[in-house]
C-alpha cells in the first residue's frame, strides 16, 4: 500500500493551494493560507507508465480533397488518394485503412498490383511509392524519386512487373516493380513523333497496352498526338495528329478500335488500321443551333469503353455538357446503345472507374458498376439495372453533410442504447437503393475480443445532431436529430435574423448527454439551450420556453449626468424593455425606446406539434437581449437527471434551471457567487468624462467549408477594435488601480447586503439579473488564454439625461459570431511575440466562445484575421503572465466548467449533499450547495433552494474539469435517474415514479464523514482536494510554456487517471490521486481550431478529434489496445486464386496475333536495355517494418515471378519428358515391328533349322 500525504511547501509555493474560505485572503489573490493537515489517505494506485502507449487506430469519414481512385477487380478493394498525401483503402464494412505519405505531397495516381497485395502511388513530388498491403498496417517498401522530369501518367499491365511512367516532357520510362529501378529502355518523345513535326506533343496523358498485342504500347499526348509504339522493333506503328487536345483513351476489348475524349466535348472512334481520320466523331451533348453550328461543350475529362456479352457496349464519360446552360450540376453520362442517361451529381467529379468482372483487357468486360469519386462524396452506380440506381454506402461518408461544430465520445455505454437508437433511426432511412450487395467487398474483418458499446455524437452547423455507433473500430449512423425544428423558420427580410445576416443560427456549440437517463441537452450558437427526452412513442407536445436575462453590462447605463455622485446602477425598472410586439431594429442603431430588450434571438414554436419517436424537445432556454446588446454565448453546461437541474454559464454569470418545474432557480453574476469571500479587491471607480471612441466587434461565422467562385472560406472569428489615439487617456487608464463594485441598494437578494453569505436564493425565469460594475481592463491586458471577458474595454461618451446609451457596433454589424464550424477553423499563427499572444488568446476565445480585449492591441489599428491562406509559423507563444498573477487586470470571469455531484457544501457538513461545482476563467473554484426535495411529490411542487458558499480554491489558468474520487481512489459517478418513457401508456398497477441511482462518497466507505477527493484540472495545473476540509493534498503543474485544451478523468485498466491534451501537441496522463506523470507524448501540434474544439477523451483509453473537415481520427493511449490493434483491424489482402484467362480458340489465336509470347524481361532487362542514368531517378528503400521487410526480401511480386519461373521450368521439363516419351514410343514401335517380322520369318521353321 502506498501512502500519499499532503504535498508540503516545496510544491505549493509555485501555486496557490490554500483555502479561500475567509475574507482575509480576498486582498491577496493567489496567496496560499495555512490548511489543516488531513489524515493519511491510503490509495493503491495500479496504473504505471507501461500501461500507456499512444497510437492512431482508425479514421472515419470521407477523404478530404480526394485526387485519385483505383480498384483491384480480384481482391475487390478500393483506394482513394488525397491532396494531403493520404491514401484510404476500403473493402467490406469494417475493412478501412488509412496510410499517409511522409512527404505530404498530393497523390496523382494509384495503381494496384492486381491480386498481389501491393499498391503503387505516384505523388506530386515526382516520387513513386510501392506499398505492401499484405499486412494490417500498410507500409512503403520502395520509393523512386525522379529528379529531372515530372510524372504525369502511369500504367501497369495485368500480371506484369514493368511499370510504364509518362512524364511532362513527353518521355516514357519503364520501372521494374520488384527492384524499383529504372530500365535503360526509354521511349523519347522525339522518336515517338515524326521528325518533320515542329511542335512538342505535350505531356503524356495516356499509356495502355493493345488488347490485341501486349508488345504494342499506345501513347497519348496532351496536344492531340497518339502513337502506337512497337516495343520489340522500337519504332512507331502509326501516328495520329488530331486538332483537339486529348484527355483520355479507352480500348475496345478486341483491340480493333479505341475511343478518345477531347477538350471540345467530342468523342472520336479510331481504327488502328486506318488512322488518317476517325471513323466516328460524336458530340454527345452538343446540339445543332439554328445557324447550323454545334454549340460549344465542356471537355470530356475521361471516357471508358466497355463491352457486354448480352447487350450493347457501354460508353461512360464525365463532362462534355454545353456551356450555355448556367447552373448545371456536374454529370456522369452513360451511353448504352441508343439510350443516353445523364446522372447529375451534387459535387464536381474528381474521378470515376468502371468495375468489370475480368481483369484481362482482351476479354469481354461485362461492367456491373461504376464508382464515382466526387469532391465530397463517393457514389457507386449499379449498371445491371436500366434505371441505374446507386448502392447504399456502408461507410460513414456523410459526416460532413453539414460542417461539424462539436463532438462527444462515450465509451462503455449501456448495452441497450445502441439497438434502441438504431431502431428509431432505421425508420427514417432513404429508399430507392440498389438491392444488390455492396460491390467493394474485399478483405476480411472479424469482431475483436475487446469490444464494448461506443457512441460518438457530432453537432453540426445546420443544427443537426448525429448519433454514431462507434463500436469495434467501425462507424455507423444510428439516429439523426434536427434541433431547428423546435424554432420557427426565420423569414427573409423580417426579424432579427435578417438584420444580423445570420446564416447558421441553429449551429450546435456543445452537447451534454446522460446515456442512463437518456436526457440530452444541446447548446446552440444563438445562446439557446434545448433539453430533449427520449421516447419510443410519438406524441403531441408543446415545447416550454424559458427566457433568462444573463447580461452584465453596467457601463452602458452610467453617464456623468446621471448619478454623478453615486456611480452605480439605477433600478432595473428604470430601463425595462419595451413590449415585445414592437418591431425589432438593427442592433447597431440607437434605440432610446429599447425595443430590442428582453427578446431572444430565435422564436420557439408555440403550437402543439406531432413529434415522432426518438428525442423529443421538452424545454428551450434562451438568453435575452439587454440594452440593445445580444446575449453572450454559453461557455459551460451540465445537467443532472437525478436532481432535475440544468446549469449553464457564460462570461456574465451563472444560471440554474429546474427543468422538472420549468423554472429558473438561480440567475447570478460571477462576482455574486463569492458572497462575502470575494478574493479580489474592488474599489469604487468614477465614470470617465472625456473618452470619445467606439469599439466595434465584428464576429463572422462559417456556413460552408469549401470555397467556390462566389464564396470563399471565411475566417471563423474576427475581432476588430478601434481605439483612440489619445495617449493621455490611455495613460490615465493604465494609471488607475483595480476597482471594485458598488451594488444598487434597490436590488434584492444581494449577498453583500445580507449579514451572512446567501443561504437560499430562488428566482423565477423573469427575475432580474444581478448587475455588476467592472474595471474595464483598466490596468493592462488579460493573460490567461480563456480568462478574457466577453466584451470589455468599451469606453463611454458623455450623454444627457435624455440621450440614449452608446451602442458598441456600427449599423449592420452582427452582434455575435455565427457558427464556428470545427470543420473549417483553419488558422495560421503569427510569428512575433505580440501577435502570437493575441492569436493565442483569440484562438482560445473561439474554443470557449468568450470574447476579449487587452491593451496589447492598443498598438495595432488593424484587426487580427486568420484564415487558411496565411502561411505563418504554426506555434503558440507563451502567455506573458499567469492568470493568477494578473487578476487585478481582468474585469470579468467566465464560467468555464460546471459539475453536479454529491459533495460537502461547507467544511462543517457531516454528510454529502447535492452540490454544484463551478470553475471560472480566473481559476477559481466555487461550491454551491443545493437543497432538493427527494420525495417524488414534493419534487414536483416544492422549490429547490440554492446558496453559494464562496470560493474554495484557486488554480493557474481557467478551470477545465472536475471529478470526484472516494478515499479508495475509485471514481464516483454522478447520480442519475433511470430512464422512463413519459409517453408510455399508463399502468394503474405500476404508477410511474422517478427511480434514482446515487453514488454517495460514503457508500463505499466504512463510516460517514470520511469525505471524498475532488480532482480539479485547469489550463496549467491539476490539484486534488480532500473534502469537506477543502485541503489540497496533491498539486501538479502540467505545463508552463503552453496550456491545456482538453482534460478529463477517464477509466482505464480498472483504475482512473487524468488525461490532458495541450496546445503544444502533448498528450499527457497523470495518476490519481497522486498526480504522478505516467505518459507525455508529443503527438499533434495544434495548428487550427478544429482540433481544439473537437478533441475529446473517453474511457478505456480512447480519444478522437476532427483531423480534417470531413474525417474523424480515433486514437488510443492504452498499451493493451495497441497490443490488440492488429487483431481489431481488418485484413486488406485475402489469398484468392487469379481467374484464368478465357480460351481464345485456335482461329482467334492464329489470326489475332500471338500476344502471349511477348517477353518484357527480354526487352527491358539490364542485359538487353542496359542501365538507366543514375541522375534521372533515385531509389529510396522504404521503412516497411519487420513484416514488410520480410515480404520485401522475398519480393512483393517475387512469389509471382518465382511461380512463373517454376511454371516455365515445369513446362520445359514436361516438354523434354514428352520428347523422351515420343522417342520411347518410336523405339517401341520399331522393336515391335522387327519382332513381328522375325516372328513371321521363323513361323514355319522347325527347331532343327535354326
**Per-residue pLDDT tens digits for 1071-1085:** 999 999 999 999 987
Does residue 1001 or residue 760 have the better pLDDT?
Answer: 1001
| Omega before residue 1028 within 30° of 0, cis | yes
In the chain, helix, strand, coil percent, each to 5? 15, 35, 55
Q: Which pLDDT belongs to residue 626?
A: 86
Cβ count near 1069 (within 10 Å): 26
Would you state the cell numbers that stand for residue 500, as one nine-digit string?
Answer: 444580423
DSSP state of 316: E
681, 407, 647, 685: which is closest to 548 by C-alpha? 647
pLDDT band of 40, cuts 50, 70, 90: low
Would you state the cell numbers that stand for residue 150, as one nine-digit string?
Answer: 515530372
pLDDT band of 1011, cuts 50, 70, 90: confident
The C-alpha atoms of residue 227 and residue 192 are separated, in whole angstroms, by: 7
**Per-residue pLDDT tens digits for 452-464:** 899 999 999 999 9
Is the pLDDT at 398 greater than 50? The verdict is yes
Q: Which of 338-352, 543-557, 1086-1100, 1148-1162 has the lowest mean pLDDT?
A: 1148-1162
Does residue 809 or residue 216 have the better pLDDT?
Answer: 216
| Omega before residue 91 within 30° of 0, cis | no
Phi and psi based region of residue 769 (left: phi greater than 0; alpha: psi -120 to 50; beta: remaining): beta
C-alpha distances (whole Å) from 813 to each of 342, 694, 695 are 45, 13, 12
Q: Which residue has the cell 518484357?
A: 1160
180, 172, 56: which is closest to 118 by C-alpha? 180
The C-alpha atoms of residue 1158 and residue 1148 are separated, in whole angstroms, by: 17
Q: Which pLDDT belongs to residue 777?
A: 34
C-alpha distances (whole Å) from 851 to each of 346, 682, 755, 790, 1002 are 37, 22, 35, 4, 41
Would you state the cell numbers that stand for residue 277, as one nine-digit string?
Answer: 481520320
Residue 368: CA count within 13 A, CB half-sphere: 12
The C-alpha atoms of residue 1147 and residue 1144 are separated, in whole angstroms, by: 8
pLDDT band of 1200, cuts 50, 70, 90: low
Average pLDDT, stretch 878-898? 55
Task: Give yes or no for a contact between 467 and 419, defined as CB atoms under 8 angstroms apart.
Answer: no
According to DSSP H, which parts of 829-909 are helical? Answer: 833-848
Would you state the cell numbers that stand for residue 423, as one nine-digit string?
Answer: 431502431
The C-alpha atoms of residue 1 and residue 969 are separated, in whole angstroms, by: 12
pLDDT band of 673, cuts 50, 70, 90: confident
C-alpha distances (whole Å) from 182 to each of 174, 176, 949 are 6, 6, 78
Q: Which pLDDT belongs to residue 82?
A: 97
Would you state the cell numbers that stand for residue 601, as one nine-digit string?
Answer: 434571438
The C-alpha atoms of residue 794 and residue 852 are separated, in whole angstroms, by: 11
Average pLDDT, stretch 300-326? 90
Is the pLDDT at 184 greater than 80? The verdict is yes
Q: Which pLDDT belongs to residue 895?
A: 95
Average pLDDT, stretch 779-790? 36
Q: Which pLDDT belongs to residue 680?
A: 62
Q: Which pLDDT belongs to residue 445?
A: 87
Q: Which pLDDT belongs to residue 529?
A: 97
Partners of 459 in beta bridges: 406, 465
Q: Kindly state the helix (H) or strand (E) to which residue 940 belongs, with its residue range.
A: helix 936-941
What is the value of pTM for the model shown? Answer: 0.76
Would you state the cell numbers that stand for residue 571, as one nine-digit string?
Answer: 433600478
Would you state the cell numbers that stand for residue 869, as one nine-digit string?
Answer: 491562406
Average pLDDT, stretch 854-866? 35
Q: Which residue has the cell 495555512?
A: 34
Would you state the cell numbers that stand for residue 656, as one nine-digit string?
Answer: 440554474
Q: 3-class SS at 927? A: strand
The C-alpha atoms of residue 344 and residue 60 are separated, in whole angstroms, by: 26
Q: Which residue has the cell 477487380?
A: 73
- Burial zone of 1081 (CB within 10 Å; 0-12 exposed, 13-18 middle, 19+ buried): middle
735, 736, 733: which is closest to 683 by C-alpha? 736
Task: Provide the strand spans (E) within 91-150.
Answer: 96-100, 107-113, 118-123, 127-132, 139-146
Q: Which of 69-73, 479-483, 945-949, 1178-1182 has the lowest mean pLDDT?
A: 945-949
Q: Which pLDDT belongs to residue 1211?
A: 67
pLDDT band of 328, cuts 50, 70, 90: confident
- Burial zone of 1152 (CB within 10 Å; 0-12 exposed, 13-18 middle, 19+ buried): middle
**Per-residue pLDDT tens digits for 111-159:** 999 999 999 999 999 999 999 999 989 999 999 999 989 999 999 999 9
Is the pLDDT at 737 greater than 50? The verdict is no
Q: Tell me the pLDDT of the chain averaged across its residues.
A: 76
Average pLDDT, stretch 266-287? 91
pLDDT band of 1202, cuts 50, 70, 90: low
Average pLDDT, stretch 614-624? 95
Q: 3-class SS at 1129? A: coil
Task: Give yes or no for a contact between 228 and 187, defined as CB atoms under 8 angstroms apart.
Answer: no
Cβ count near 921 (within 10 Å): 34
The C-alpha atoms of residue 490 and residue 266 are separated, in whole angstroms, by: 47
Contacts of 1222 (CB under 8 A, 6+ apart): none
Q: Which of 348-362, 931-945, 1082-1096 has the highest mean pLDDT?
A: 348-362
Does residue 576 or residue 421 have the better pLDDT?
Answer: 421
Task: Give yes or no for a contact between 210 and 273, defined as CB atoms under 8 angstroms apart.
Answer: no
Is the pLDDT at 500 greater than 70? The verdict is no
pLDDT band of 98, cuts 50, 70, 90: very high
Q: 3-class SS at 1037? A: strand
Task: Give yes or no for a contact between 275 and 266, defined as CB atoms under 8 angstroms apart.
Answer: no
Q: Kindly state the helix (H) or strand (E) to which residue 732 belongs, with its residue range.
A: helix 727-735
DSSP state of 426: H
DSSP string, 198-248: -S---SEEEEEEETTEEEEEEEEETTSEEEEEETTTTEEEEEEE-SSPEEE
- Burial zone of 700 (CB within 10 Å; 0-12 exposed, 13-18 middle, 19+ buried): middle
Would you state the cell numbers that stand for residue 1216, as one nine-digit string?
Answer: 523434354
Task: Give yes or no for a contact between 1016 and 571, defined as CB atoms under 8 angstroms apart.
Answer: no
Angle at Cα 948 formed by Cα 945 and Cα 952, nearest 5°? 145
Residues in the chain: 1250
**Per-residue pLDDT tens digits for 694-725:** 333 333 333 333 333 333 323 332 332 233 33
Phi and psi at 152, nearest 5°, equal -120, -30
Task: Give yes or no for a contact between 843 and 826, defined as CB atoms under 8 angstroms apart.
Answer: no
Task: Give yes or no for a contact between 1179 and 146, defined as CB atoms under 8 angstroms apart.
Answer: no
Does residue 1028 or residue 797 have the better pLDDT?
Answer: 1028
Cβ count near 876 (within 10 Å): 24
Would you state the cell numbers that stand for residue 679, as one nine-digit string?
Answer: 478574493
Is the pLDDT at 880 greater than 50? The verdict is no
Average pLDDT, stretch 70-80? 96
Task: Provide the strand spans (E) within 538-601.
Answer: 539-541, 544-548
Is the pLDDT at 478 greater than 70? The verdict is yes
Contacts of 990 (CB under 8 A, 6+ apart): none
**Per-residue pLDDT tens digits for 592-611:** 444 567 788 899 998 899 99
**Per-residue pLDDT tens digits for 226-248:** 999 999 999 999 999 999 999 99
User: What sign does the CA torsion over 1223, 1225, 1229, 1232 have?
Assistant: positive
The C-alpha atoms of residue 789 and residue 807 are separated, in whole angstroms, by: 18
Cβ count near 291 (within 10 Å): 5
**Per-residue pLDDT tens digits for 12-29:** 333 333 333 333 333 333
Q: Among residues of the chain, what percentage have pLDDT more than 70?
A: 69
Q: 3-class SS at 846? A: helix
pLDDT band of 421, cuts 50, 70, 90: very high
- Burial zone of 721 (CB within 10 Å; 0-12 exposed, 13-18 middle, 19+ buried): buried
Phi and psi at 971, nearest 5°, equal -75, 135
Q: Which of 142-156, 701-715, 842-856, 899-913 has the lowest mean pLDDT?
A: 701-715
**Per-residue pLDDT tens digits for 567-597:** 333 333 333 333 333 333 333 333 444 456 7
1079, 975, 959, 1080: which is closest to 1025 by C-alpha? 959
Amino acid at each position: 500500500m502506498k501512502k500519499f500525504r499532503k504535498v508540503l511547501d516545496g510544491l505549493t509555493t509555485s501555486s496557490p493551494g490554500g483555502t479561500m474560505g475567509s475574507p482575509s485572503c480576498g486582498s491577496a489573490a493567489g496567496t496560499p493560507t495555512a490548511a489543516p493537515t488531513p489524515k493519511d489517505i491510503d490509495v493503491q494506485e495500479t496504473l504505471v507508465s507501461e500501461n500507456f502507449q499512444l497510437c492512431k487506430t482508425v479514421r472515419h469519414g470521407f477523404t478530404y480533397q480526394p485526387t485519385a481512385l483505383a480498384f483491384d477487380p480480384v481482391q475487390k478493394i478500393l483506394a482513394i488518394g488525397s491532396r494531403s498525401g493520404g491514401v484510404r483503402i476500403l473493402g467490406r464494412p469494417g475493412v478501412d485503412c488509412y496510410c499517409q505519405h511522409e512527404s505530404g505531397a498530393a497523390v496523382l495516381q494509384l495503381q494496384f498490383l492486381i491480386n498481389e497485395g501491393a499498391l503503387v502511388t505516384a505523388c506530386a513530388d515526382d516520387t513513386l511509392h510501392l506499398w505492401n498491403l499484405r499486412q494490417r498496417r500498410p507500409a512503403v517498401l520502395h520509393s523512386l524519386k525522379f529528379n529531372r522530369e515530372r510524372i504525369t501518367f502511369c500504367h501497369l499491365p495485368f500480371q506484369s512487373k514493368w511499370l510504364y511512367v509518362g512524364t511532362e516532357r513527353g518521355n516514357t520510362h519503364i520501372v521494374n516493380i520488384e527492384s524499383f529501378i529504372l530500365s535503360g529502355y526509354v521511349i523519347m518523345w522525339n522518336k515517338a513523333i515524326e521528325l518533320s513535326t515542329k511542335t512538342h506533343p505535350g505531356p503524356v496523358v495516356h499509356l495502355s497496352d493493345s488488347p490485341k498485342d501486349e508488345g504494342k504500347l499506345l501513347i497519348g499526348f496532351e496536344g492531340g498526338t497518339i502513337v502506337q509504339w512497337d516495343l520489340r522493333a522500337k519504332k512507331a506503328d502509326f501516328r495520329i495528329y488530331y486538332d483537339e487536345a486529348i484527355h483520355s483513351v479507352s480500348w475496345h476489348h478486341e483491340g480493333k478500335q479505341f475511343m478518345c475524349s477531347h477538350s471540345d466535348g467530342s468523342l472520336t472512334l479510331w481504327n488502328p488500321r486506318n488512322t488518317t481520320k476517325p471513323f466516328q466523331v460524336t458530340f454527345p451533348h452538343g446540339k445543332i443551333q439554328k445557324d447550323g453550328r454545334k454549340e460549344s461543350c465542356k471537355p470530356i475529362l475521361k471516357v471508358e469503353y466497355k463491352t457486354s456479352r448480352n447487350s450493347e457496349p457501354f460508353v461512360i464519360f464525365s463532362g462534355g455538357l454545353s456551356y450555355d446552360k448556367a447552373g448545371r450540376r456536374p454529370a456522369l453520362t452513360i451511353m448504352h446503345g441508343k439510350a443516353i442517361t445523364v446522372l447529375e451529381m451534387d459535387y464536381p467529379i474528381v474521378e470515376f472507374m468502371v468495375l468489370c468482372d475480368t481483369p484481362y483487357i482482351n476479354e469481354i468486360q461485362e461492367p456491373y458498376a461504376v464508382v464515382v469519386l466526387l469532391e465530397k462524396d463517393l457514389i457507386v452506380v449499379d449498371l445491371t439495372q436500366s434505371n441505374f440506381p446507386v448502392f447504399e454506402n456502408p461507410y460513414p461518408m456523410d459526416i460532413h453533410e453539414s460542417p461539424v461544430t462539436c463532438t462527444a465520445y462515450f465509451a462503455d455505454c449501456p448495452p441497450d442504447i445502441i439497438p434502441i437508437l438504431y431502431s428509431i433511426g432505421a425508420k427514417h432511412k432513404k429508399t430507392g437503393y440498389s438491392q444488390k450487395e455492396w460491390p467493394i467487398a474485399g478483405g476480411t474483418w472479424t469482431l475483436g475480443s475487446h469490444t464494448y458499446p461506443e457512441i460518438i455524437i457530432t453537432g453540426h452547423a445546420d443544427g443537426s445532431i448525429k448519433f454514431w455507433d462507434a463500436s469495434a473500430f467501425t462507424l455507423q449512423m444510428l439516429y439523426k436529430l434536427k434541433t431547428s425544428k423546435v424554432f420557427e423558420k426565420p423569414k427573409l427580410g423580417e426579424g432579427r435574423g435578417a438584420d444580423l445576416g445570420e446564416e447558421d443560427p441553429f449551429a450546435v456549440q456543445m452537447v451534454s448527454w446522460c446515456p442512463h437517463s437518456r436526457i440530452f441537452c444541446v447548446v446552440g450558437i444563438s445562446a439557446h439551450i434545448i433539453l430533449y427526452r427520449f421516447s419510443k412513442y410519438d406524441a403531441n407536445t408543446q415545447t416550454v420556453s424559458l427566457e433568462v436575462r444573463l447580461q452584465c453590462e453596467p457601463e452602458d447605463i452610467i453617464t456623468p449626468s446621471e448619478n454623478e455622485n453615486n456611480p452605480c446602477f439605477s433600478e432595473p425598472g428604470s430601463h425595462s424593455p419595451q413590449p415585445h410586439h414592437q418591431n425589432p431594429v438593427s442592433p447597431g442603431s440607437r434605440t432610446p425606446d429599447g425595443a430590442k430588450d428582453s427578446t431572444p434571438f430565435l422564436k420557439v414554436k408555440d403550437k402543439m406539434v406531432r413529434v415522432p419517436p426518438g428525442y423529443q424537445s421538452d424545454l428551450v432556454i434562451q438568453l435575452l437581449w439587454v440594452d440593445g446588446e445580444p446575449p453572450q454565448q454559453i461557455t459551460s453546461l451540465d445537467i443532472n437527471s437525478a436532481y432535475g437541474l440544468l446549469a449553464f454559464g457564460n462570461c456574465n454569470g451563472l444560471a440554474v434551471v429546474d427543468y422538472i418545474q420549468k423554472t429558473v432557480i438561480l440567475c447570478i453574476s460571477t462576482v455574486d457567487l463569492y458572497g462575502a469571500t470575494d478574493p479580489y479587491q474592488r474599489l469604487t471607480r468614477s465614470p470617465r468624462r472625456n473618452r470619445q471612441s467606439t469599439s466595434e466587434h465584428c464576429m463572422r461565422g462559417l456556413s460552408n467549408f469549401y470555397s467556390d467562385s462566389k464564396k470563399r472560406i471565411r475566417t471563423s472569428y474576427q475581432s476588430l477594435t478601434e481605439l483612440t489615439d489619445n495617449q493621455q487617456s490611455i495613460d490615465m487608464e493604465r494609471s488607475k488601480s483595480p476597482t471594485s463594485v458598488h451594488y444598487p441598494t434597490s436590488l434584492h437578494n444581494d449577498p453583500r447586503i445580507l449579514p451572512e453569505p446567501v443561504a437560499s436564493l430562488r428566482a423565477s425565469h423573469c427575475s432580474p439579473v444581478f448587475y455588476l460594475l467592472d474595471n474595464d481592463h483598466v490596468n493592462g491586458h488579460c493573460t490567461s488564454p480563456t480568462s478574457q471577458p466577453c466584451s470589455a474595454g468599451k469606453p463611454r461618451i458623455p450623454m444627457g439625461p435624455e440621450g440614449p446609451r452608446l451602442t458598441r457596433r456600427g449599423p449592420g454589424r452582427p452582434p455575435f459570431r455565427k457558427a464556428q464550424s470545427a470543420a473549417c477553423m483553419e488558422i495560421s499563427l503569427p510569428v512575433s511575440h505580440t501577435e502570437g499572444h493575441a492569436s493565442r488568446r483569440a484562438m482560445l476565445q473561439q474554443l470557449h466562445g468568450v470574447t476579449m480585449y487587452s491593451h496589447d492591441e492598443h498598438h495595432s489599428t488593424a484587426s487580427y484575421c486568420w484564415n487558411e491562406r496565411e502561411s505563418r509559423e504554426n506555434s503558440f507563444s507563451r502567455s506573458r503572465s499567469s492568470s493568477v498573477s494578473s487578476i487585478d487586470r481582468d474585469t470579468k470571469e467566465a464560467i468555464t466548467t460546471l459539475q453536479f455531484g454529491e459533495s460537502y457544501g461547507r467544511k462543517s457538513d457531516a454528510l454529502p449533499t447535492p452540490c454544484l461545482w463551478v470553475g471560472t476563467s480566473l481559476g477559481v473554484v466555487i461550491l454551491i450547495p443545493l437543497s432538493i426535495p427527494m420525495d417524488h411529490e414534493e419534487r414536483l411542487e416544492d422549490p429547490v433552494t440554492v446558496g453559494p458558499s464562496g470560493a474554495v480554491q484557486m488554480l493557474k489558468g481557467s478551470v477545465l474539469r472536475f471529478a470526484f474520487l472516494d478515499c479508495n481512489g475509485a471514481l464516483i459517478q454522478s447520480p442519475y435517474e433511470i430512464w422512463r418513457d413519459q409517453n408510455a401508456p399508463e399502468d394503474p398497477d405500476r404508477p410511474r415514479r422517478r427511480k434514482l441511482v446515487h453514488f454517495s462518497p460514503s457508500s463505499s466507505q466504512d463510516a460517514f464523514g470520511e469525505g471524498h477527493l475532488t480532482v480539479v484540472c485547469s489550463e496549467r495545473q491539476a490539484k486534488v482536494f480532500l473534502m469537506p476540509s477543502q485541503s489540497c493534498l496533491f498539486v501538479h503543474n502540467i505545463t508552463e510554456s503552453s496550456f491545456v485544451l482538453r482534460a478529463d478523468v477517464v477509466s482505464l485498466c480498472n483504475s482512473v487517471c487524468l488525461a490532458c491534451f495541450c496546445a503544444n501537441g502533448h498528450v499527457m496522463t497523470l495518476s490519481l490521486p497522486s498526480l504522478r506523470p505516467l505518459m507525455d507524448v508529443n503527438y499533434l501540434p495544434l495548428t487550427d481550431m478544429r482540433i481544439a474544439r473537437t478533441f475529446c477523451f473517453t474511457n478505456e483509453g480512447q480519444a478522437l478529434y476532427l483531423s480534417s473537415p470531413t474525417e474523424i481520427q480515433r486514437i488510443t493511449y492504452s498499451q493493451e489496445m495497441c497490443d490488440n490493434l492488429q487483431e481489431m483491424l481488418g485484413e486488406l489482402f485475402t489469398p484468392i486464386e487469379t481467374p484464368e484467362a478465357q480460351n481464345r480458340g485456335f482461329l482467334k489465336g492464329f489470326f489475332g496475333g500471338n500476344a502471349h509470347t511477348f517477353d518484357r524481361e527480354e526487352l527491358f532487362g539490364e542485359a538487353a536495355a542496359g542501365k538507366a542514368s543514375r541522375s534521372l531517378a533515385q531509389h529510396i528503400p522504404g521503412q516497411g517494418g519487420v513484416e514488410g521487410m520480410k515480404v520485401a526480401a522475398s519480393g512483393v511480386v517475387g512469389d509471382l515471378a518465382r511461380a512463373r519461373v517454376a511454371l516455365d521450368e515445369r513446362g520445359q521439363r514436361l516438354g523434354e519428358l514428352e520428347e523422351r516419351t515420343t522417342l520411347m514410343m518410336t523405339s517401341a514401335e520399331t522393336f515391335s515391328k522387327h519382332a513381328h517380322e522375325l516372328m513371321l520369318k521363323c513361323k514355319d521353321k522347325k527347331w532343327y533349322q535354326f
